[in-house]
Structure formats: structure tokens, C-alpha cells
């Protein structure tokens, strides 16, 4: 009986997917064999929507996905095109980019500080943790996992502590400043800048795995190390101590997905539209119900990545678009003035402001014959 039940569930999903795809039309297509730009018209409950989409065949080993931060430094912002082109190499024959997830834009119009709200990891290198816990992860073979990552378990280990029955020090985040005055144990790397945030706690400066300085207040950050900011309540450190940190997950399966892209809320999961935005932690109308420029990233059942922008849609209409294009899993990205897409040296959707981070896809085999 279970086999029959699964069969009918698969058949029902296949029919629904076919109906969804029947509500789209392809208006134009350009690009390399595995990285293309297409313009679609998709039917939603709010009417037909024109969608700019970039498609990447994740089955092609020449396709690479990465997070790119403005100026290679957190709390910076720059034009989407500038950020994207900063990682172009001679081998990257074709390149596409879309805006990343939420951040706090700076400038007279917004008054923020360009702080990015989410996790940024590239090929196992953590640039930032803290904030948005929903991610789309990619392993070295471009297999994809999407879901709630939760905050990684970050542990600072000092040589000799285990012999003295001292457990590793728990670290709250990497390069993420909290508003809580009782915040504890933050690691800062050179992606944050050359000094930690202003604080009245203790900065432990580390270079090449060795503590070189312990100071009260703001500490310097070196490119060959990191700086721990903590209260001193749970551990004290001295110059010469040998320390290192590690990152683990409550769900160990996440460890193989070494590039992680933040986004929220989840709009499509396992081929079904999700509308539980409040339960996911997002209740603001500008994120959920308002019709506004929007961006998303998704993946199809046959491992094709789709990144899309639409000029005016609610979140549920964006989910209908992602599902209609064949995505079985999809994440909402930042929208409004942040929504933007860049392809093959030109804007497809120009954003209305500078960005803190973008998602870049490169195809190192772009000399292949473009699709018909």
C-alpha cells in the first residue's frame, strides 16, 4: 500500500509541475551552453509577470557559485556590476550575478551601516555567521541542500585546555555584532576590517595561531589571524597561548555543503509553495505581502539553478513564479531597491542602490555553442 501511495504522490506532483510550467512562455534566450539568460512571462494570481531569469546547469563542472562582498570587506557597498566583475578571471568566460539577501543600507536615504544579515561561506571559508539562518548550500559537485541551517557551533580551542579538563570556549558568531550589551565571544577576521567593533570588553589578538596581544577595548585584526572579543568571565588568555577555532553543525550533513547562500523566507520547498512566513520569522509587509521588485534563487529537480527578478510581485506571487519555472526549492532574496541582475557584462535588472553582497555564477566553458 505504501508503494501505491508514493506512486500517486509522485504522479500528482508531476501533473502539478506540468500545469505550472504550462503557464509560462519563453520570450528570449541568450548565453553559453550552461549559463543562459531568458525572459519569461509567468501567470500568477496577480496576473502575468515578466520575469528575468538566469539559468545555470549545475551538472556542468565548469559552473561555479560564490558569494562576493563589496571590496572583499564586510560593511562596504558598491554597484552590483562592480562587485560581480571583481571576481572575473580569464577562465570565467561567462558571468552572471544577482543581489544577495538582506542588509542594512548606508547613506543619507537609509542611514544604516551596510551590515549583512546572514551567513556567508565560500568553499569552506566562513566570511560571516549570525543573522538569517536559512540557506541554500552547494557542495563541490554542485549538489544542493536548502533549509534552516541554524547558527553553526563555533568552538575556540587552546592548546593544553583538554589536559586541564577545560572544554573549548563557545563562540557566538564570526564578524557579526549583536545589539545585546551582554553579547559574548565574537571572532573577528580581516573580512571585518583592520580593527574590531568599539567595545568595552577584552580583545585577544591572534596571529598564525598564537596570541600576540591581549588588550582592553578595541583590538587590531591581522590578515594572518583573528581577534576574539570576550568578557573574560569564562576564560582568560595570555600572550603565547596557541589557539584555533572550528565550526560544526547540529545537523552534520550540512558540513559537505561548503558554499552557503543566505535568503529568506523559503518560498518553495519540495515542490510546494510555503506561506508560513511569520513562522519562519518574517512578518513585515515589505517582505511578505507588498507588491515590490523581488529576487529569488531556486533549483529544479534536474539540478538546474534559476535566479530571477520581477518588477512587481508579492512573496506568494514570487513563489508561484519560482514553481512555475520548475523550481522545487527556492529562497527569497532582498528586494525593493536591492533587486538587480547582471549578465554577460550588462544589467538585465539594474538595482536602485549599491549592494553589500551579490551571488555570482561563472561558466569557465563559455566558449561552448550557445543553445538554439
Nearest Cα neighbor of 341 from 286, 295, 293 is: 295
- Look at residue 112 in the predicted model and tell me its pLDDT: 86
* CA distance linking residue 220 with residue 205, whole number of Å: 7
* CA distance linking residue 299 with residue 76, whole number of Å: 29
- Look at residue 132 in the predicted model and tell me its pLDDT: 75
- Look at residue 30 in the predicted model and tell me its pLDDT: 61
Query: Which residues, other chains included, contact 303 with Cβ-Cβ below 8 Å and sequence gap of 6+?
Result: 57, 58, 59, 142, 143, 144
Nearest Cα neighbor of 262 from 36, 50, 69, 37 is: 69
Cell of 36: 543562459
* CA distance linking residue 184 with residue 187, whole number of Å: 10
Please give the chain's pLDDT, 372 residues, in tens: 433 333 333 333 333 333 344 466 665 556 668 999 999 999 999 999 999 999 999 999 999 999 999 999 999 999 999 999 999 988 777 999 999 999 999 888 888 888 888 899 999 999 999 877 899 999 999 999 999 997 789 999 999 999 988 999 999 999 987 666 556 799 999 999 999 988 888 999 999 999 999 999 999 999 999 999 998 888 999 999 999 999 999 899 999 999 999 999 999 999 999 999 999 999 999 888 999 999 999 999 999 999 999 999 999 999 999 999 999 999 999 999 999 999 999 999 999 999 999 999 999 885 544 444
- Look at residue 31 in the predicted model and tell me its pLDDT: 60
- Look at residue 10 in the predicted model and tell me its pLDDT: 31
- Look at residue 367 in the predicted model and tell me its pLDDT: 59
* CA distance linking residue 10 with residue 87, whole number of Å: 41
Q: Determine the 3-state secondary structure of 17 from DSSP.
A: helix
Cell of 55: 539559468
Amino acid at each position: 500500500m505504501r508503494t501505491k501511495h508514493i506512486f500517486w504522490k509522485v504522479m500528482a506532483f508531476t501533473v502539478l509541475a506540468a500545469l505550472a510550467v504550462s503557464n509560462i512562455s519563453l520570450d528570449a534566450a541568450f548565453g553559453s551552453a550552461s549559463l543562459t539568460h531568458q525572459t519569461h512571462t509567468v501567470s500568477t494570481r496577480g496576473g502575468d509577470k515578466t520575469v528575468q531569469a538566469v539559468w545555470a546547469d549545475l551538472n556542468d563542472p565548469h559552473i561555479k557559485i560564490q558569494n562576493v562582498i563589496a571590496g572583499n570587506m564586510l560593511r562596504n557597498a558598491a554597484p552590483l556590476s562592480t562587485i560581480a566583475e571583481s571576481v572575473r578571471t580569464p577562465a570565467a568566460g561567462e558571468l552572471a550575478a544577482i543581489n544577495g539577501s538582506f542588509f542594512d543600507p548606508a547613506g543619507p536615504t537609509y542611514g544604516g551601516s551596510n551590515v549583512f544579515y546572514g551567513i556567508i561561506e565560500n568553499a569552506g571559508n566562513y566570511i560571516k555567521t549570525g543573522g538569517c539562518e536559512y540557506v541554500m548550500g552547494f557542495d563541490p559537485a554542485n549538489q544542493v541542500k536548502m533549509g534552516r541551517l541554524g547558527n553553526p557551533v563555533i568552538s575556540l580551542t587552546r592548546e593544553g585546555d583538554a589536559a586541564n579538563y577545560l572544554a573549548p570556549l563557545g563562540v557566538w558568531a564570526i564578524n557579526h555584532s549583536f545589539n545585546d550589551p551582554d553579547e559574548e565571544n565574537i571572532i573577528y577576521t580581516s573580512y571585518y576590517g583592520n580593527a574590531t567593533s568599539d567595545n568595552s570588553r577584552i580583545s585577544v589578538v591572534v596571529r598564525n595561531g598564537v596570541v600576540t596581544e591581549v588588550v582592553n577595548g578595541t583590538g587590531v585584526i591581522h590578515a594572518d589571524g583573528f581577534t576574539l572579543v570576550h568578557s573574560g568571565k569564562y576564560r582568560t588568555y595570555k600572550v603565547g597561548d596557541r589557539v584555533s577555532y572550528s565550526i560544526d553543525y547540529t545537523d552534520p550533513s550540512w558540513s559537505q555543503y561548503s558554499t552557503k547562500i543566505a535568503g529568506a523566507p523559503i518560498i518553495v520547498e519540495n515542490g510546494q509553495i510555503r506561506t508560513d512566513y511569520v513562522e519562519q520569522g518574517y512578518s513585515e509587509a515589505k517582505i511578505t505581502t507588498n507588491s515590490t521588485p523581488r529576487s529569488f534563487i531556486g533549483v529544479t529537480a534536474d539540478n538546474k539553478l534559476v535566479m530571477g527578478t520581477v518588477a512587481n510581485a508579492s512573496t506568494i506571487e514570487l513563489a508561484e513564479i519560482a514553481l512555475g519555472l520548475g523550481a522545487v526549492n527556492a529562497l527569497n532574496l532582498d528586494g525593493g531597491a536591492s533587486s538587480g541582475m547582471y549578465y554577460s557584462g550588462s544589467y538585465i535588472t539594474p538595482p536602485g542602490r549599491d549592494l553589500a553582497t551579490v551571488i555570482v555564477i561563472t561558466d569557465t566553458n563559455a566558449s561552448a555553442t550557445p543553445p538554439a
